[in-house]
Structure formats: structure tokens, C-alpha cells
Structure 1
Amino acid sequence: MKNLQKRIASLAAHPFAVPLILLAVTFLAYGLSFWRLGFYWDDQPISWIRYQLGSEATARYFSDSRPVWALLYQITGFLLPQNPAVWQWFGMFWRWAGVYVFWQVMTELFPRRRDLAFLLALLVLLYPGFNQQWVSYVYSHFFIVLFFLLFSWRLMLRGKTLLAMIFSALNLIMFEYFFMLEFMRPFILWMTLREEKLTLRQRFLTVFKAWIPYLGVIVFAIFYRSLVYSHPGFGYSLTEEVARAPIETLTQLVLHVLSSLWAAAGGAWIQAFQFPHPAVNGWRTSGLYLFVVLAVGGLVLLKRQSGDSADAARKQDVFWLIGLGAVMLLMGGVPYWVTNLPVTLGFPANRALLSFMFGACFLLLGLLHLLPARVTYFAVVLLVALSAGRQFLWSVDYLRDWQSQKNLFWQMTWRAPGIQPGTIVLMNEELTFNADNSLSAPLNWIYAPETRTRQVGYVLLYPTNRLGASLPALEPGLPIRYDFLAASFDGNTSDVLAFYYDPPACLRLLEPDLDPSNRLIPAESLMREASALSNADRILLEGQAIMPAVYGPEPAHGWCYYFQKADLARQRGDWEQVARLGNAAFQLDDYPNDPIERFVFIEGYAHVGDWEKALEYSKVSYRVSKDYVGPLLCRLWKRIGAETASSPERSEALAEIQSMLACSP
């Protein structure tokens, strides 16, 4: 037993122990389902622009705000394929690489407290204020830039000034998220002099001389960015707002500062204490969560075996941790406070918390250092383990969202094998990790895979987001122009397909003669009003939509497949096919999750003269919700009555429906 303990202690003290533990923790928290994850949020439009529209389009996309960052996307897009699993690995690598360099910097700032450096690195790696690691195409580039900053600090401490200046410049000119952290460099330099016997004046002069080259880089970057930067978020002017309404603006500013600091340094850590419940999350997910928590906790405790504690420096460390944490929090917040940009724990605004991340971790560890040493260590271990578990749970949310996104587009292609260019797709907000702008990219990729021009054929809009702006009104005949920066769309509100998606129910093309009165569609979605614009003639019945490889393979043909194909056959007027598909669908070990999904089969059976089945499935649908489904059945049967040939069976069926539903004439 003693030999085993010695061997474990020897392994924990090995120079490669920390990077390997950090790598293992990265994989446990972020990578357990890497091969099943996809593209999300800005991944979609930016990768579509890079891989389909081309390198020049990528340059256009970033030209008015982050032109140097565009070069990074051009390089990575050339080196890596359009494969989500590859990008998940790439994102995890740069997250790990940055934290590893950060750990190296911390070991030099706290040379007697390597345990402290290790814990800081873990907190930064797993910071639960940010839950977008799996938006891998975009955030891998964020973490590359963060690596440039941290590597610049590391090079500076090693005396490699020129290289450090180059990497500092790359951080500053590429984009703004870590710009203010560059001003932490004098504090880092000051900390390296803690053991030196210098007067206060000598310290200031030493730090300032060492900082002058980097100050020059900052001046250059500010000048450069003032020439090229035109981010829309900077349309807000704090000075103008103060001049216009000083009390209101300053009150709003104070509240914004306080709420941002709470989100970054308080609310973020509370999120780590959100646990799964088997009844909600399932036993498999709950079991994997427990495995991640225990495995990460065990790895961190394993490193504790090395015996590196250095408790003598604790009091001094508390001052530096809390002080640096407070300064970094304030530095991180300045860009958001002066521009009034949101800083919250919600998606996607929590990306702003990356700027606060280091300050939040320093401050937390400093406050925990006010506790006894052993309590501090195990409190941090617990928080690290729970943060890893929370990140794992978020990865499951992303996995489910990707499955929903894949089902959305497969069902769309089953229902609409082709769509006329110039079509606007209106849809409700259902996918958590995708905006309408995000989904416009795969829509164009699927229905116009050969497009390489600045004019694209399709746009997908959420009425809840765009009404009154990109979508002036839910009325026909209105011109629409949507700018993707690298390309643009021109269309008209008379050329609309309106879809409603609420899984596990099927994607459904809305009907203008039924769905404006469909109370099963929430009023706040605005899709009832949008359904009045839906024009199924925009669908090319003999089209050949091509699904990008990232969405393959085609899902198993369950209920929704038969529903979509039956709705397509109905549009073609092939009622025999609708009935055949209905016979197959109702034999499946699957079922509709929306009573309206039976309507196409009710109509199909009526048209082929199988009135018995048409009545049977009408009654089944009616029982789901008499108040909501009844009026829709009335409209459906009115259409059936107008479009089917007269017969005794038809008259009998119509009479029975009238008796059951009491439809108004």
C-alpha cells in the first residue's frame, strides 16, 4: 500500500502531470460526445461563408470590424475540413493550450504556490459563466486569440520581448474581447518583483521601463482599430447619453455594472450547483454526470498528493488574488459598460463573460483563501468537480439541440424537395442554440449548394425577432432585403413558406386556410399570422435538395417521414399515395405528437372514399382537445366537402362530422 502511495505521489509530482490532468479534465467536461455534436449559432453562417462562398467572402464578412481575424478563419478553413467533430477537437485543444500557458504564467507569479497556480488554471478551464465551448467553429478562434495574449505574458516573463510584442499585437488587433486584459501586464510585471528589495520608486520605474514596448503596441492597436472598427454595438455613445439624460443614464450604468459583476463573480459559480434529476435528464445522463464529477475530483485530489502546499505565503496571496481579481473584473467590464452591451448568464450573451473570467476566478480563490488551508483546497476541488459536471450537462443540451436541428432540415427536405429561389422561410423560435440568421446558412447550403455569388436564394426569419425590422410586417407584397455581410438576399413577403416546429411533433408547413385559427400554435410565436402568408407553390415538387454531409446519415423513417411525404403527395394531388402512406404510418410503433398531423391522412382517406378511416382519425384528433381541434376539423371537413365527389357515404360522413362538431355553416 505504501509503495502504491509513493508511486501515485511520484506520478503527481512529474513535470507532465499538470498538463495531462488539464487535458483529461478538458475532455471529461467538454468532449465525451464530441463526435455527435454539430455546428451552432455563428458556426453556421461563418462556416457556410468560408466553405461555400469562399475565402474572399470571409474577408468581406469581417472587413468592417475584424479584418485580421478574418485571416485566421481563412487559414483554419484551409487546414481543417467542414466536420463538426474535427472542430470540437480543435476548440478543446486551444481551450487546453491557453489554460496550460496560463498555468505556466501563474507558477512564475506564485513560485512558492504551485498548488494555487494549478487550482487557478482549473477554475479558468471550467468557468461555468461561459457555456458555449461547443460552438466550436467560432470559439476555437476566440481561444486562439486568448492563447496569443497568455503566450505573450509567458514570453515576456521569459525575457523574449519582441516575440511577446508580436503576440500581444495579434490579440489587440484581431478582436476586442481580451483587449482590456492587456492592461494587466504592468501588474504581472510588478508581481515578479515581489521578492526584490527595491524602493517603491524603483519598482515603478522598473515596471514602467519593462512595459514601454507593450504600451507602444497598445497605442498602435488603438490607432489601427480606430481606422477599421465599426462594430454595430458601438453605435451607443455613453457621453452623448449622459449629456441627454444624465441621471437616468448614470443610474442605468451603475445597475449595468453591478448586474455584470454579479453575473461574472457570483451567479456564474452558482450555476455549478445545478444538478441533474434522473426523471428529467434520464439515468444515463445522470450517471455520466456523476462519473465526470468524481473523475475530475479524483484527478485534482491526485495532484494534491505531491505535497506542494506552501502555506506560508497564504496571507500575501490573499491580497494579490483579491486585488488582481477586482482589477481584472473592472478591466473586463469596461468595453461592455461604455457601449451598453448586455452581460448576462443567458445564451448567447454569456460570451461577454469570457472578458470577466480571469477576474472572477482570482477573486473567488482569494476569498476562499480566507478559510483554513485544508478547507480552501477541498472547497475548490468540490467547485471544480461540480463545474466540470455542469459543463457536461450543457454538452448534453447542445447534443439534443443538434439532433433537433438535424431532424428539422431532414423533415424540411422530405416535405420540400426543392424551393424556388427568392423564398423567405418563416419559422418559430425552437432551437436553443441557433438564431434565424444561423439557420439561413444551412437552408442555403441545402437548397443552393452551388451558390458562390454575393446574391443568395433563401433567408430564414423568426417573426418574433425580425418583425418591424428585417421583416416590416406580416403582410404580402413587401420587399425584403437581408444582408449577410458576405452576401445578401432580396425577396418579397408574397413568396413565403411558413413552418412550425415543436419537437417531438413533426415540422409542419402551415396552411393559410387552417392555421390562422390554430390555437395549438402559441400566439406569442406570431406563426398564426405568418401562416396566412404561406404559399406552398414556392415548393419545387420535383426538386433535388442535397443535404450537407454534416447532417448525415438520413434518420430512420418514422412517423414524421410518412407525414412529410404524405403532405407532399397531397400537394401533388396524389390521394392514393397519401392513403398508402397513411396505412404504413399507422402501423408503425410511432405516433403523432400533434393532432393536426392526422389531418393530411383524414383528407387522403376521404378523397379515396375510405370514409370510415377519415371519421375514425377525425374522432381521435378531436378527443385530444375538443376546443382547439374542433374548429380546425370543421375547416378541414368543409374543404373535404367542397373537393370530393358526391356519394351516400360522403353525405353520411359529413352529417356525422356535423353532429359531432356542430360546425357553423
Structure 2
Amino acid sequence: MKSALSKKTLDPILLLLLAVLTYGLVIPKLGLFGDDWPHLWAFHMFGMEGLNNLVAWDRPFSSWVYGIIAPLANDHIWAYHVYLLILRWISAVLFYYLIKEIIPDSDPFPFWAASFLLIYPGFRQQPQPLEFILHFTIFDLMLVSFICMMKAGKDIKTNWPYQVAGTLASLSIFSVEYFIGLELLRPILLFINFQRSLKNWKTAIYKTAITWFPYIVVLGCYAYWRMFIFKFPTYKPTFLNQVGLNPIQTLIGLLEVLVEEIRAAILGAWRQVISIPLDNHPGIIYYLLICVSFIFVFISLTRKKVSAETTSPLITLLMGSVAIILAGIPFWITGIPVQLEFPWDRSTLPFMVGSSLLLAGCLLLFRPAFRNAFAALIIAGSVGMHYQNVMLYQLEWQKLNQFFWQLSWRAPSLQPGTIVISEVIPLFYYGDNNLTPILNWTYAPQSKSTKLAYNFFDMGERLGSNLSDLKPNISVSHGYRFLTFESNSNNLLPVVYKDGSCLRIVDEQTVLLDSLPKRLKKVASFTHPEERILPGPQSTPPSFMPEPEHGWCYIYQKSELAVQLGKWSEVRALYDDAEKNHMEPNDLTENMPFIEAFIRIGDIDSAAKLARSSLKQENSRPAICNLWNKLAKEDNEVGRFTEQAGCD
């Protein structure tokens, strides 16, 4: 009994260790990304009702998924990461047992395929927990439904509880549409199982039809609901429209897309595993993870009893190929791309099944002595790739932290109705709909109104639509799901944030920076940041966004605020503090508030020296010398130092 129990639990435990090694070790370093923010903010502000209203627009039967974890996790973002990790591990375990149902006595094939599913490199958005808790919950329920279906098929009369459970689990397809295509894999798996045991294809077809019947009913109900009742609120079935107009050209175009996207989901995805990161210097941890993963997986596999010599590569490759083709149906019908680049790598999720089966099936083509070594190499390489990927997310989290803390240092409070607008922000994993919740969480943390107090606009996204033109006195309206926002273009607050520099509020001084985007300069021509920025009370980002160290950018932001308030002695004190702690800017134009402060307090000589040293930076002259000449017009004494400042 003890031996049997250990055999049943060993592989799931090994998969759990692999999941922790791949995704779990880095959880303490991760934050929130992309659509995580609207989900958590809606729950934080409005509870489950807010989450339900948020998702009801495109997935009305999905809020229950968040009701499982959100009340327990609240604002503890690590809990969402851990929960997604558990869901990811469960999917691998369920896939493992499903394969054992379809192809019994095929070890170590089920472990290979489950491991490949777990570490599939095509999908790289694991660090976004709130968004993909939904997808993996539904994927797990689909696998549960498949397993119950296979068990029920052995004897419908006695195993009917499995059929009932499987049918109920299949209703989860109403929550998210990603895995609809895989529903058509059911009759193929059933037929393979029946054909093997019955050796009679007619009987196998009959039993397949009987077992599949309740699931095709559920799928048919879903298709009717989606097409004629709920319809398509977001992505439309463009393929169906196009094929009616020009069937031949549309089918040829679909075939081209199909070939390219399948290539990406299989060859492109796994090719990432062997890419050596020579340019970004991943460090010793990366190489250590690869070595540990290889040793762990290789030892685990070599200790297993092997029965895969009896497993047919043809069957596994056939199942994988069909699963790949079926996986793309919801994307090809709606024209959603399947790519390896963010954000469309999320479309590779349903391809995990077929891709894992194909790769595991290919291992059967090698000599038995090499199979486990190849499997261990692939898994170790994927673990390393995911580590590199999560380091990019960690860097993005740090940038986001800096952005909003610098904004709060510079602008302790903002007038309601303010629209923070920018064009070039080095935040790859966030759109403006993701940044708006953070802005409101920071500056209106107690608001329970569905009318937003603040909004964030990406110029590339909003200009010409929600913001019709870059002119004063234009009404601005923006809605996001159940939230609304109304304001005026006079309330724009232009900002720019670039790598290597501090966040800048674009005003009459910074507008002369040579690197500033032209459209932001146009915004600055009719907006007045000093009217939008209030000195207090001090607002801060959410508590799980830790305040960065008070380095140069803290000094700079507090100095800019002090300049706005005319507190010149405070600016001088901040400069002295920076010198004392050996802080200096990467961008020398950030010395401008100190140049002005020196002049205002009468230390023109120090101002001139700082101005001249700042002019050493290329393209800094327009901004530095415009400030100097402006102050020289106000004070003749300043004009006497113009040559010394380098602005003659």
C-alpha cells in the first residue's frame, strides 16, 4: 500500500518542485503588471461587486474565479502569485493523469509531457497573476472534465457520476473563450481509447458518440449564447464575415496565418529555450538554475521505471498535431494574433497541450538512452529562459515604482480632473488603462465613485479619440468598463520619463529640452502644471509599492516642488544634501532648479559655475541658457555673469 501510494504521489511532487524552481523562487521580487491593476483596484475599492462589474463587459461568467482568492488575498500581491503558481502546477498534474488515462503504461511519457506543459516557453506572462488566474482556473477545469470523461467512457452505466462531474466542469467554457477549440479534441481522445480496448472501429465510434454527447451539447449551447445572445462585445468574428465576401482569398490568407502562427507556437516557442543571453549578462543565478534543473530532472527521470518503448510515437504525434490545429480556432476566427511578443504571447496558452505532446512524442523517436537527457536539457533551458523573462518584469516593476513615487514626491496632491499625459514612457508591460488605477489609488485612495478623479493618457492611444486634439478648452471623455471620466484639455499634466533620467513635469522650462517629444511640447504651450499640482496633503502609491531610496531623483523632485512654491532656501538645502551624499544627475539639465535657486538667494557665482558644468552635456544649451537669460532680464547682476555661465 505504501509503495503504491508513493508511485501515485511521486510525479506530482516532482512537478511541484519543478514549478517552484521555475516560477516560485522569484515571487518575492514581483509586483503587478498589465491588467492586474484594474482587477486589484476594482476589488480594493468596490469589493466583489467591482470585480463583477469590471469583467461583466466581456466575460460575464468569470468573476466567481476571483471570488475564490480575492477575499483571502486582499492587497497581498504575493498571495496572487502563489495562487497562480498552484494553478499552474495543478494543470501539469491533471495533464499528467489525463495522459495516463489515454495512454496507460507509457512512463515516462506522461511526465515528459506534463513537464513541458508546465514550463512551456511560448507563454511568458506568468508574472501577471490576477489576469491569468482566470485562464488557468478554466484550463484546470477543462482538464478535470477531460479526465472525468475518459473515466466515464470505460462504463457509462456504472461511471455516470464521472460523466455528470465532467459535464458540469465543462460549463467553465462560458467563463473564458481561450480553450474552446480544444473541446473538439474530446472525440479523438475517446476514439483512441476505445479503439485500443475494443479493437472494433464501429463500436469505438458508437461509444465515442455516446460519451461525447453531453459535452457537444454544452459546446453547442456556448456557441449559440456567444453568437446570438452575448454576441461579440470585443473581438469580432472577422473570418466569418470575410469568408462570405471572398471565400477563396480568405481561406488562402487563413492558411498563411495558420502556418506562421503554428510555427511560432511550436518551433519559435521552444527555440527560445536554447537562446544564450550573451548581451544581458544574466549572472550566476541563471547558470546555477539551469544546472540545478538539469540535474534534478535527469535524476528524477532516470530513477523512473520505463515503459515508453511500447508507446507509439505515431499516436502521440497525431494527438499533438490535432491539438495544435484545434487550439487556434478562437484566434483565427476573430483575427487575434498568435505571437511570441508581448502582449500576444497570451494567445499561445491553448497551444501548450499540442506543443507539449508533440515535443514529448519527438523524444520517442530517439534512442531510449538519450531521451531523458534531452528532456532534462529542454526543461533546464526553459527554466533559465523563464528566469530571464522574470528579471525583465522585475526591472519593469522597479521602473513603475520609481515613476509613481517620483510623481508623488513632485506632486504631493493633484487637482481632481487632472489627466497625466505622456508619450514616451519606458514601461513595456503597462498601458494607460493599467496606469489609471494606480494614479487613482495614489491620489484618491478613499474614493468609492465610479466617476474617476484622475486619468492617465498615452498620447499614441488617446489622441484623436478620447482627446480629439492638442488644443485648450476641449472636452475630454473616457470610459473603461464600468468607470467613467470627464474633464477638459486644460487639465492635462504632461510628463516625460526616460531611462537614465528622473521624471519631468513638462513646464515652461523643461519644454526647451531637445529630447522632448514635439507633441508634449505642444501640450505644454497651453497647460499650467502649477495649477494642477498642490503642495499637500502628501499622497503616496499603494502600500505594497515600497518607497525607493531617497537618491538623486528624490532630491530633484523635491527641489522642483520647492521651486514651484518659491522656497529657495529649501532648494539650496537639498542641493547641499546631494553634495554631502555624493549624489549627481545622469542628465545635467536636472541641475536647472538649483541654478535658479542659487540666483534667487544671491549666490550668482555658484549658479554660473553649475550652469557652465551642465552645458558639458550635449543639447543642454537651449534649456540651461533660456533659464539663465530669463533670470538675467529680471536682474542685471545676473547678466554680468552670463559669459561665466557659458550662455553668452
Deviation larger for 302-311 or 343-352: 302-311
Counterpart among 537, 544, 548 of residue 543 in structure 1: 537
- Output the amino acid matched with 1:346: E
Cα distance change of structure 1 residues 125 and 341 upon mapping to structure 2, 3 Å threshold: same
Question: Are positions 1:645 and 2:635 aligned together?
Answer: yes
1: CA distance, partners of 2:248 / 2:475: 41
- How far off its partner does 1:576 sit? 1.6
- How far off its partner does 1:124 sit? 0.5
Cα distance change of structure 1 residues 119 and 527 upon mapping to structure 2, 3 Å threshold: farther
Are 1:12 and 1:305, in contact at CA under 8 Å, matched by a contact in 2?
Answer: no
- How far off its partner does 1:437 sit? 1.0
- Output the amino acid matched with 2:472: P
Are 1:514 and 1:636, in contact at CA under 8 Å, matched by a contact in 2?
Answer: no
Map of 2:488 onto structure 1: 492
- Output the amino acid matched with 1:458: Y
2: CA distance, partners of 1:212 / 1:73: 31
Deviation larger for 407-416 or 463-472: 463-472
1: CA distance, partners of 2:610 / 2:253: 57
Cα distance change of structure 1 residues 251 and 430 upon mapping to structure 2, 3 Å threshold: farther
Map of 2:623 onto structure 1: 632
Are 2:444 and 2:453, in contact at CA under 8 Å, matched by a contact in 1?
Answer: yes
Deviation larger for 37-46 or 506-515: 506-515
Counterpart among 272, 296, 299 of residue 296 in structure 2: 299
Question: Are positions 1:452 and 2:448 aligned together?
Answer: yes
Counterpart among 319, 326, 337 of residue 342 in structure 1: 337
Question: Are positions 1:313 and 2:310 aligned together?
Answer: yes
Are 1:448 and 1:457, in contact at CA under 8 Å, matched by a contact in 2?
Answer: yes
2: CA distance, partners of 1:616 / 1:194: 88
Q: State the TM-score, normalized to the length of structure 1.
A: 0.91
Question: Are positions 1:238 and 2:239 aligned together?
Answer: yes
Secondary structure at the aligned position of 2:478 is classed as strand
Are 1:336 and 1:342, in contact at CA under 8 Å, matched by a contact in 2?
Answer: yes
- Output the amino acid matched with 1:638: N
Are 2:608 and 2:642, in contact at CA under 8 Å, matched by a contact in 1?
Answer: no
Secondary structure at the aligned position of 1:452 is classed as coil
Map of 2:405 onto structure 1: 410
Are 1:418 and 1:545, in contact at CA under 8 Å, matched by a contact in 2?
Answer: yes
Counterpart among 278, 283, 291 of residue 286 in structure 1: 283
1: CA distance, partners of 2:355 / 2:34: 26
2: CA distance, partners of 1:71 / 1:448: 28
Are 1:98 and 1:146, in contact at CA under 8 Å, matched by a contact in 2?
Answer: yes
2: CA distance, partners of 1:218 / 1:32: 39
Cα distance change of structure 1 residues 467 and 373 upon mapping to structure 2, 3 Å threshold: farther
Map of 2:202 onto structure 1: 201
Are 1:265 and 1:360, in contact at CA under 8 Å, matched by a contact in 2?
Answer: yes
Are 2:425 and 2:496, in contact at CA under 8 Å, matched by a contact in 1?
Answer: no
- How far off its partner does 1:600 sit? 1.1
- How far off its partner does 1:520 sit? 2.3
Are 1:13 and 1:306, in contact at CA under 8 Å, matched by a contact in 2?
Answer: no
Counterpart among 161, 164, 173 of residue 162 in structure 1: 164
- How far off its partner does 1:302 sit? 1.9
Map of 1:4 onto structure 2: none
2: CA distance, partners of 1:194 / 1:308: 26
Deviation larger for 579-588 or 94-103: 579-588
Secondary structure at the aligned position of 1:158 is classed as helix
Counterpart among 451, 472, 477 of residue 473 in structure 2: 477
Secondary structure at the aligned position of 1:267 is classed as helix
Deviation larger for 474-483 or 227-236: 227-236
1:37-58: CA deviation from partner (whole Å, max 9, x where unpaired): 1110000011111211332222
2: CA distance, partners of 1:205 / 1:178: 26
Map of 1:596 onto structure 2: 589
1:156-210: CA deviation from partner (whole Å, max 9, x where unpaired): 233311111111112x110101111111111221232243233211111111111
Map of 1:31 onto structure 2: 24
Map of 1:387 onto structure 2: 382
2: CA distance, partners of 1:232 / 1:375: 50
- Output the amino acid matched with 2:589: I
- Output the amino acid matched with 2:578: A
1: CA distance, partners of 2:186 / 2:429: 35
Alignment of 1:453-602 (within 5 A): 453-515=449-511, 517-521=512-516, 526-536=519-529, 537-552=531-546, 554-602=547-595
- Output the amino acid matched with 1:57: G
Secondary structure at the aligned position of 1:235 is classed as coil
- Output the amino acid matched with 1:631: P
Counterpart among 345, 370, 376 of residue 375 in structure 1: 370
Question: Are positions 1:426 and 2:421 aligned together?
Answer: yes
Counterpart among 128, 134, 138 of residue 135 in structure 1: 128
Cα distance change of structure 1 residues 491 and 393 upon mapping to structure 2, 3 Å threshold: same
- How far off its partner does 1:221 sit? 2.1
Secondary structure at the aligned position of 2:448 is classed as coil
2: CA distance, partners of 1:325 / 1:126: 17
Secondary structure at the aligned position of 2:642 is classed as helix
- How far off its partner does 1:534 sit? 4.5
Counterpart among 37, 40, 56 of residue 49 in structure 2: 56
Are 2:409 and 2:554, in contact at CA under 8 Å, matched by a contact in 1?
Answer: yes
- How far off its partner does 1:367 sit? 3.0
2: CA distance, partners of 1:228 / 1:324: 33
2: CA distance, partners of 1:502 / 1:150: 45
2: CA distance, partners of 1:634 / 1:369: 72
Secondary structure at the aligned position of 1:263 is classed as helix
Are 1:64 and 1:230, in contact at CA under 8 Å, matched by a contact in 2?
Answer: no
Alignment of 1:87-126 (within 5 A): 87-126=80-119
How many residues are treated as equivalent by the alignment?
Answer: 635
1: CA distance, partners of 2:120 / 2:563: 52
Secondary structure at the aligned position of 1:293 is classed as helix
Cα distance change of structure 1 residues 11 and 477 upon mapping to structure 2, 3 Å threshold: farther
2: CA distance, partners of 1:264 / 1:122: 17
Cα distance change of structure 1 residues 259 and 472 upon mapping to structure 2, 3 Å threshold: farther
- How far off its partner does 1:224 sit? 3.0
2: CA distance, partners of 1:589 / 1:11: 66
Secondary structure at the aligned position of 2:537 is classed as coil
2: CA distance, partners of 1:225 / 1:235: 11
- How far off its partner does 1:387 sit? 0.4
- Output the amino acid matched with 1:547: P
- How far off its partner does 1:330 sit? 1.2
2: CA distance, partners of 1:462 / 1:495: 15
- Output the amino acid matched with 1:413: S
Are 1:322 and 1:366, in contact at CA under 8 Å, matched by a contact in 2?
Answer: yes
Are 1:416 and 1:541, in contact at CA under 8 Å, matched by a contact in 2?
Answer: yes
Q: CA RMSD in A?
A: 2.2
Deviation larger for 101-110 or 588-597: 588-597
Map of 1:6 onto structure 2: none
Map of 1:226 onto structure 2: 227
Are 1:419 and 1:543, in contact at CA under 8 Å, matched by a contact in 2?
Answer: no
Deviation larger for 564-573 or 291-300: 291-300
Are 1:64 and 1:231, in contact at CA under 8 Å, matched by a contact in 2?
Answer: no
Secondary structure at the aligned position of 2:447 is classed as coil
